[in-house]
A and B are shown apart, each in its own frame.
Chain A
Amino acid sequence: MTVDGKKTEWLNFWHWCARRCSPALLATILAAGIAGYLLFVPPFHGLADNGDFYRAQFVNGLYRLKGYSMLNYVTPKLGIMQYFNDTTAAVFSSQPLFVKLAVLLNKLFYSKTIFDLRFMGLVYYLPYLGSMYLLTTAMTAPYRKLRGYLIALLIVFVFADSSFTLYFNSFFAEPGMLVLMLYAFSALMLVARRPDWHPRLLTVVYFVSIMLLIANKQQNAPLALSYTVTSIGLFFIFKKRAQWLWILGGIVGILVTGILTYTLITKQFNDINQYQAFTHGVLLHTDDPSKKIAKRGVDEQYALMRNQDYYPKAFAAINPSAKSVKKGLNDKTGFGWIVLYYVHHYPQFHTLLDVAAGDMMITQVKAVGDYQRSSGKPAGAQVTYFTGFSSLAGAFFPQKFSFDILLTIALLIVFAIGAYNDLVHKRVANVVRFFLVMGLLTVFIFVPIISIIGDGDADLAKHLFMVPVSLDLILIMFIADLLNHRLWHSDGNIGEDEA
């Protein structure tokens, strides 16, 4: 056979493959295999209880069996309550929807008394695969060229990373946030790029995902503002007045969800956050805070609480929930006090932001173990299987907040040019993309700031969860559009490519 003959054969084979397997399908299959092995093949993996799981467990009728492990090991089985459950939700959240569904599936297919953690994983896993499909479609369609498959591989490399999928087998709220974010992002981009493909349905998916996402966790309440920005693009797609009303309704819904989530934060949570914003923020990264806080009207003795948790992990000199602490500290150091303090001590705030910048790409929860006790692994052992992206990003992403700001400006400029070109040529896709990116970049910049002011560096990596998700989405879109030549013009050079 000649070289040309071989080439033709190869090309024929390639076309045959491409016809049968789109990039989106490839990404979905790969993600299904990679995450499925991690989550479902015994001894399966997950995240151990960090002490917060009870909030999601008891309310949903689950209880801990003997041998329940905290922090060190994943506990594969839980008990299902058989009688009246008198615990009420400590917090308002959309997370119970997922847990209740998992319990229901467990009861239907497995047992009425014992809960297998994998059902929790399944409840996130299936929608997650759907979101991977949509995301890859949004990033690659309508192309089926080699670069489409490269983009699919990149998406799998980033979003099938075990640091994300491990969350599925746990009672954290984060997996819900991840999946919902993927849906919202892909739905919006699909509406923009393929206006003929279920635009209304996808718009509804977008709004519902965003609302559930905001309601998923208290700390997401401020994100309502960011997602209002991302929604602006929809006004460019739908041009009729009546449609605008619907979109406006959706945006109002987002804001109302945000406000509700914010106002329904319980008093207890406020106390915890306020206390830790002080002990894990105000008192940190400064030489001796004693005099500084005394100057701002708080007894200098409270400087001794530096690095203390509201619920002491072991021993403490005083119970932070004591009346005297409330009177002497919590009643004085409200949100306004903390903001003013940082205004007066900006260098300290900047250092804290750098800490946040250093933490934001580390998505693997190092504080809890990933294995079951029966695995024979040491307590708190971490999975290294398919964590390439999170390890790389965690190690190499610059640990400077100023860099983040610069990156934001650079990305805004790039996407703004795309938007401008589209506006000039009366197209919409890149305009929508610009607002989407802008909204996600506000998450990238403001969530670290809000986290530091609201809760100091306590649980920082978890509070920043939406930051790496947002940034990863932007970067994927950047690379995908660059490869598909539609970074500057939304129609790209499709004609040129297809030739």
Chain B
Amino acid sequence: MKKRLFLIILTIISLVGIGWKQPTVAQGADKRVLIVYDALNPTVNGQRKLAGLQQLLTSIGVTTQTEKLSDYYAGQLTTKKYMGVVTLVNWPQGDLHNAAFTRDQQTFSGKKLHVGQQLSQAEAHQLHAVRHNVYHQQLTLSAGGQQQLLPFSENITLLTVKRKAQNFGQLRPQNQGIGHYPYGTVVGRAGYLPYFEANGFSQVLAAQTIATLFGNVRQRKPLLTITGVTPYSDLNRLTQLATKLNAAGIPFAISTTSVADNTSLAAFSKFTKALRIVENNQGIIFLQVPIVGAANRQSGALLEQTMVEELNQLKQRQVMPVGISAPVYWNQDKVFRRYGLARSSNVLLLPNPATTTFAAQDNLGATYGQTWTGLSLNSLLTVKNGRQIAVNRLEFPTRTALTVPFPTSQKKLTAMVKRVTQLNVGWYQPQDHLQTKITSASATFDYRQGIYYLNGSPVTIGTEATGIPKYHFSQTRHVALDKYFKVQGNILFVFFTVTTIVLVVFLFLGRRIYRQMFRRK
């Protein structure tokens, strides 16, 4: 009887537990935005466009789910599950359709964004707009007196919007006679971007469009971020860069990978010393996730181990990362999210590398406390008619990290510092605003008001590391019988040496005796 009562109570508790937990789970799932794309179409860098959209949506705090058009099943798109839908068309020539999606998308009452070609009559109607097809044009994108040339386009659908529309930027074809059209358009719960690229001026305007549509616009200062630092980078150059930027009064972040092995070597001390100099020069550090050689569903434990060990080794030398940086695709992978990204409240998403190796791809993008979108600074700086974009006048509606690759030569370093200084941008000050937390096994890394905390206690960062445990370099593996075989090897060695010598001696002696036998006495 007692046992039964206990069981009942246990059941009730667990039910309550589930019921209690459900809202948080459901909330995440509830608010997803479904991204439906027709094809990747690498000839127009379709994967990059898709990743760019995933990256932007994540940084405005929206969880996503990505689905290929052909994989979409009827009835999938409902307001119960999704707050919005983004249609990305990468391959208009393919003219791909899924009747179920077309139908569901039309009746769907959530937010809708169409990106790329093939805007349907019905979609245009929802935007209260009239479509205009423009062929073979080079378009100039302009906004707020700034402009940038877009790549030549075969075919583009532009809109003339009738009323109540919010517009972001203007597109002006070369052929002046054609007139000008809005770039980003938001009408009520619908939006349209005729063209999208994950970098350049158009990315900034697209970000404004998307942030407006999904209702999360806040003007933010960009964070200057140096990417591509590794333990193998020129560390003298890195420290120079840090001191120069600090001298110029520019706060910055670096995104660096680290190692989990060989940390007892002098090279690792040198690397962490350089990183402490970065920290002491108003630089913050994003720990970049490692590159993936091979991975599968079982890689979680190894990734956890690698990340924890990297953080552990860095922390022992007072290198305190304030966030994790990763390629966009990491956020679309269950294992990478869980063991790589989710440990940090501060995540920087960078463009994907040429090859993306997944462990358990699920196409479900999560959000983090703060998610930064990496945007190449160079992509904004193309010059047209002797003018370039004034980055200091741009409005970034999301957390944007303007990325600069780590300079590969002294000359490039000087040029880069000069250029960044000239831009005169009001950069984001991590020391004033940033609050982050990273958990790594038993340790927590906090960063508040420019102070680093390890497990809650403030950390002072000097030039030399303090409190590193002593290492023994020669790590010997102890295998059973190993010693025996070693001894045996030595004994055999001595035995054979002696035998060989004896053999040679006997040979000579024997030969002499043999010849003596035939010699006449």
Please, how many angstroms separate the alpha-carbon atoms of A324 and B500 in the complex? 52
Does A126 sit at the interface, judged by CB under 8 A? no
A37 surroundings in chain B (CB, below 8 A): none
Question: Which residue in chain A gives the minimum CB-CB distance to B489?
Answer: A398
Question: Which residue in chain B gives the minimum CB-CB distance to A417?
Answer: B507
Does B261 sit at the interface, judged by CB under 8 A? yes
Say yes or no: A324 contacts B265, CB within 8 Å: no
Question: Which one of A313, A316, A413 has the highest number of Cβ atoms from chain B below 10 Å of its Cβ?
Answer: A316
Cβ contacts B242-259/A at 8 Å (1 or 0 each): 000000000000000111
Say yes or no: A318 contacts B291, CB within 8 Å: yes
Say yes or no: B230 contacts A318, CB within 8 Å: yes
Say yes or no: A301 contacts B232, CB within 8 Å: yes
Question: Which residue in chain B gives the minimum CB-CB distance to A283?
Answer: B262
Q: From the candidates A313, A399, A406, name the one contacting B294 in the complex (CB within 8 A).
A: A313
- CB A232 to nearest CB in B, in angstroms, measures 24
A144-152, A183-191, A286-294: which lies at the interface: A286-294
A219-244: which residues lie under 8 A (CB-CB) from chain B? Answer: none
- CB B353 to nearest CB in A, in angstroms, measures 8
Assuming the contacts A318-B232, A328-B232, A398-B492, asked whether A306 and B294 have C-beta atoms less than 8 A apart, the reply is no
Does B517 sit at the interface, judged by CB under 8 A? no
Assuming the contacts A318-B230, A318-B257, A399-B486, asked whether A290 and B293 have C-beta atoms less than 8 A apart, the reply is no
Q: From the candidates B231, B302, B473, name the one contacting A301 in the complex (CB within 8 A).
A: B231
B499 surroundings in chain A (CB, below 8 A): 410
Please, how many angstroms separate the alpha-carbon atoms of A314 and B293 in the complex? 5
Please, how many angstroms separate the alpha-carbon atoms of A334 and B294 in the complex? 28
Please, how many angstroms separate the alpha-carbon atoms of A300 and B233 in the complex? 11
Question: Which one of A301, A313, A325 has the highest number of Cβ atoms from chain B below 10 Å of its Cβ?
Answer: A301
Does A142 sit at the interface, judged by CB under 8 A? no
Does A402 sit at the interface, judged by CB under 8 A? yes
Assuming the contacts A303-B266, A311-B293, asked whether A324 and B232 have C-beta atoms less than 8 A apart, the reply is yes
Does A107 sit at the interface, judged by CB under 8 A? no
Q: How many A-B residue pairs have CB under 8 A?
A: 128
Say yes or no: A290 contacts B265, CB within 8 Å: yes
Q: From the candidates B231, B293, B504, name the one contacting A312 in the complex (CB within 8 A).
A: B293
B261 surroundings in chain A (CB, below 8 A): 304, 306-307
Say yes or no: B500 contacts A314, CB within 8 Å: no
B267 surroundings in chain A (CB, below 8 A): 290, 300-304
Please, how many angstroms separate the alpha-carbon atoms of A419 and B496 in the complex? 22
Please, how many angstroms separate the alpha-carbon atoms of A1 and B348 in the complex? 97
Cβ contacts A365-405/B at 8 Å (1 or 0 each): 00000000000000000000000000000011011101100
- CB A408 to nearest CB in B, in angstroms, measures 11
Does A459 sit at the interface, judged by CB under 8 A? no
Does A407 sit at the interface, judged by CB under 8 A? yes
- CB A447 to nearest CB in B, in angstroms, measures 20
A312 surroundings in chain B (CB, below 8 A): 291-294
Q: From the candidates B271, B294, B473, B507, name the one contacting A304 in the complex (CB within 8 A).
A: B271
B480-506: which residues lie under 8 A (CB-CB) from chain A? Answer: 485-486, 488-490, 492-493, 496-497, 499-500, 503-504
Does A16 sit at the interface, judged by CB under 8 A? no
Please, how many angstroms separate the alpha-carbon atoms of A302 and B235 in the complex? 12
Q: From the candidates A287, A291, A317, A399, name the one contacting B489 in the complex (CB within 8 A).
A: A399
Please, how many angstroms separate the alpha-carbon atoms of A407 and B503 in the complex? 13
Say yes or no: B231 contacts A314, CB within 8 Å: no
B293 surroundings in chain A (CB, below 8 A): 309, 311-316
- CB B72 to nearest CB in A, in angstroms, measures 24
Does B297 sit at the interface, judged by CB under 8 A? no
- CB A466 to nearest CB in B, in angstroms, measures 22
B284-341: which residues lie under 8 A (CB-CB) from chain A? Answer: 290-295, 299, 302-303, 306
Please, how many angstroms separate the alpha-carbon atoms of A315 and B266 in the complex? 22
Say yes or no: A307 contacts B474, CB within 8 Å: no
B367-423: which residues lie under 8 A (CB-CB) from chain A? Answer: 408
Please, how many angstroms separate the alpha-carbon atoms of A137 and B490 in the complex? 37
B98-119: which residues lie under 8 A (CB-CB) from chain A? Answer: none
- CB A492 to nearest CB in B, in angstroms, measures 18
Question: Which residue in chain A gives the minimum CB-CB distance to B288?
Answer: A317
Assuming the contacts A324-B408, A400-B489, A400-B493, asked whether A315 and B270 have C-beta atoms less than 8 A apart, the reply is no
Please, how many angstroms separate the alpha-carbon atoms of A33 and B232 in the complex? 56
Does B268 sit at the interface, judged by CB under 8 A? yes
- CB B167 to nearest CB in A, in angstroms, measures 42
- CB B182 to nearest CB in A, in angstroms, measures 41
Please, how many angstroms separate the alpha-carbon atoms of A400 and B267 in the complex? 32
- CB B486 to nearest CB in A, in angstroms, measures 7
Q: From the candidates A287, A315, A317, name the one contacting B232 in the complex (CB within 8 A).
A: A317
A270 surroundings in chain B (CB, below 8 A): none
A409 surroundings in chain B (CB, below 8 A): 500
B231 surroundings in chain A (CB, below 8 A): 301, 304, 317-318
Please, how many angstroms separate the alpha-carbon atoms of A299 and B232 in the complex? 8
Does A319 sit at the interface, judged by CB under 8 A? yes
- CB B333 to nearest CB in A, in angstroms, measures 13
Assuming the contacts A316-B293, A403-B492, asked whether A410 and B503 have C-beta atoms less than 8 A apart, the reply is yes
Q: Which residues of B contact A (CB under 8 A)?
A: 230-235, 257-259, 261-262, 264-268, 270-271, 290-295, 299, 302-303, 306, 353, 408, 473-474, 485-486, 488-490, 492-493, 496-497, 499-500, 503-504, 507
The 10 A-B pairs of least Cβ separation, nearest first, read: A312-B293, A315-B290, A398-B489, A290-B266, A317-B257, A287-B473, A303-B267, A290-B267, A318-B230, A398-B492
Q: 5 more A-B contacts (CB under 8 A) besides A303-B265, A312-B293, A324-B232?
A: A290-B265, A303-B262, A305-B232, A315-B290, A319-B353
Q: Which residues of A contact B (CB under 8 A)?
A: 287-291, 299-307, 309, 311-319, 324-325, 328, 395-396, 398-400, 402-403, 406-407, 409-410, 413, 417
23 contacts across the A-B interface (CB closer than 8 A): A301-B231, A302-B232, A303-B262, A303-B265, A303-B266, A304-B231, A304-B268, A306-B262, A307-B261, A309-B293, A312-B293, A313-B293, A314-B295, A315-B302, A317-B290, A318-B231, A318-B232, A319-B353, A324-B408, A325-B232, A399-B486, A400-B490, A403-B489
